[in-house]
Amino acid sequence: MKPETLLQQLQQNPDFLKLTLAHPDFLPFVRYSLQNGTQIQIWDTGVLYCQPKQCGQQDIVLSSGVHGNETAPIELCSTLLNDVLAGKLLLTERVLFLFGNPAAMNAGVREIQDNLNRLFSGHHSKEPGIQSAERERAKKLEGYVVKFYEEAPQGLRERKLYDLHTAIRGSRFEKFAVYPFLHGQNWSKQQFEFLNACGANTVLLMQAPASTFSYFAAQSCKAHGFTIELGKARPFGQNDMSRFAEAATALRALISGSELNTKEFNEADFNLYEVRRAINKTTEAFALHFADSIENFTTFDVGTVLASDEGVEYKVEVEGEAIIFPNPKVAIGQRAMLMVKPVSVAGKVS
């Protein structure tokens, strides 16, 4: 598509997600200004940069569709972005909207060849000779995020990246966030307060580096980076968007500088977990020993066999150990389930 055609189409019908899905592999660079002075730049398919006339002090990446079948966050971000493009939502902050994996969205699948959310922090290039659309996309997305943060105005700024997902199965706590490993740094009170305002008062504190987008943002870009799970994954058009209203309101307020009623951090308001162990799939024999209806954060009696792989059984080891993200369909070598346990952050939040 030619840049002038794209510009014309966008101005006639300001729906960037629609254009992205119609052109999942490529959109040319274009820039234009809205009547309210906001500058819009398309950097790629699924990648749109917004710069308000007067920039606040935050640089915010809103990412969705890193997994193509997790549609509610895509619909949520598309609504926010369409309101920006139509001049109905006036931004005060620089925002980079990312729709992660357009080809997977069109196909209604989590991934086409590779799990995009296992390819960040350079993992896209760790096996020379192996190529996939997701590896290419991960590399490009890293580049766009770095460019976005590096091109920010000078001065004291706050970098944020919220990578929005929905989970494969139901969850005892419908909304929860994954707080990437901070290498011993304190967790942020202000960010806990924001997550709570999004309805995600369950937080999983990671204890090790990961190849996820949120860890890349936190570790490589020094951003407040999070994976936020907003509910259960459903196909496009089948989401009850009223269940995402709190998150939509909080994100809208964040990017437009409007008042957000956050509650002061109090650990008692949160369900906090840390990862005790990650169970990886090592062979095709990997199997779960509980039903698909069993929800995330379910606990079992000590000794219960939860999963097995060739020559090994994985049992509950301690009281209170709960399951999260069980998925026997992952590629060999990848994490097939996390075992988590309740934890306190007392004294380590500032």
Ligand X SMILES: O=C(O)CCC(=O)N[C@@H](CCC(=O)O)C(=O)O
Whole-angstrom Cα distance, residue 135 to residue 23? 19
Between 113 and 249, whose beta carbon lies closer to ligand X? 113
Question: Which residue number is nearest to Zn ion in terms of Cβ?
Answer: 165
Stretch that binds ligand X, among 33-41, 208-216, 265-273, 300-308 (CB under 6 A): 208-216
Contact 239, 71 (CB under 8 A): yes
CB 14 within 8 A of CB 7: no
Given ligand X, Zn ion, none, residue 227, with its beta carbon under 5 to 8 Å by kind, binds ligand X
Can you tell me the distance from the alpha carbon of 106 to that of 336, in angstroms, rounded to the nearest whole number? 25
Annotated ligand binding at 224? The verdict is no
CB of 302 to Zn ion, least distance (A): 30
Binding residues for ligand X, total number by CB under 6 A: 12
Distance (Å, whole) CA 313 – CA 22: 46
306 scored as a contact of ligand X (CB under 6 A): no
Taking CB under 6 A as the binding criterion, the range among 94-102, 163-171, 194-202, 246-254 that sits at the site for ligand X is 163-171
- 94 forms part of the interface with ligand X (CB under 6 A): no
What are the structure tokens assigned to 194, written together?
A: 């924001």
Binding partner of residue 95 among Zn ion, ligand X, none, CB cut-off 5 to 8 Å per kind: none
Options 111, 134, 174, 229, the catalytic residue: 229
What b/e sequence results for 112-142 when a residue is b if at least 16 CB atoms lie within 10 Å of its CB, and e otherwise? bebbbbbbbbebbeeeeeeeebbbebbebbb
Instruction: Tell the smallest beta-carbon distance from residue 67 to Zn ion (Å).
Output: 4
DSSP 140: H
Contacting residue, 262, 299, 327, 334, with ligand X by CB under 6 A: 327
Answer yes or no: are the C-beta atoms of 44 and 147 closer than 8 Å.
no
The alpha helices in the chain, defined as continuous H runs, are 3-12, 16-22, 71-85, 102-107, 133-150, 189-197, 213-220, 245-256
Q: Which is nearer to ligand X, 93 or 229 (CB)?
A: 229
CB of 200 to ligand X, least distance (A): 13
Which residues is 176 bridged to in the sheet?
A: 202, 229
Q: How far apart are CA 145 and CA 214, in angstroms?
A: 11
**Reduced to 3 DSSP states, what percent helix, strand and coil does the chain have, rounded to the nearest 5?**
30, 25, 45
Pick between residue 58 and residue 71 the one whose CB is nearest to Zn ion.
Answer: 71
**Binding residue (CB under 5 A) for Zn ion from 67, 135, 137, 232:** 67
Question: What, of Zn ion, ligand X, none, does residue 167 touch, CB below 5 to 8 Å by kind?
Answer: ligand X
Is 229 tagged catalytic?
yes
From candidates 94, 137, 160, 165, binder to ligand X by CB under 6 A:
165
CB of 194 to ligand X, least distance (A): 17
The stretch among 27-35, 163-171, 201-209, 217-225 that binds Zn ion (CB under 5 A) is 163-171
Q: Which stretch binds ligand X (CB under 6 A): 28-36, 129-137, 165-173, 304-312?
A: 165-173
Q: Indicate whether 165 belongs to the interface with Zn ion (CB under 5 A).
A: yes
* Binding test (CB under 6 A) with ligand X, winner from 117, 121, 191, 219: 117
With CA atoms as reference, report the closest residue to 197 among 133, 272, 273, 269: 269
Stretch that binds ligand X, among 97-105, 138-146, 210-218, 299-307 (CB under 6 A): 210-218
The per-residue b/e assignment along 288-316, b for 16 or more CB within 10 angstroms, e otherwise, is beeeeebbbbbbbeeeeebbebeeeebeb
In whole angstroms, the minimum distance from the beta carbon of 225 to ligand X comes to 9
Alpha carbons 289 and 282: distance in angstroms, whole number: 16
Residues that bind ligand X (CB under 6 A): 67, 117, 165, 167-168, 178, 210, 212, 214, 227, 325, 327
Interface residues with Zn ion (CB under 5 A)? 67, 70, 165
Instruction: Could you list the residues known to form a binding site for Zn(2+), using ranges.
Output: 67, 70, 165
Instruction: Just list the catalytic residues.
Output: 229
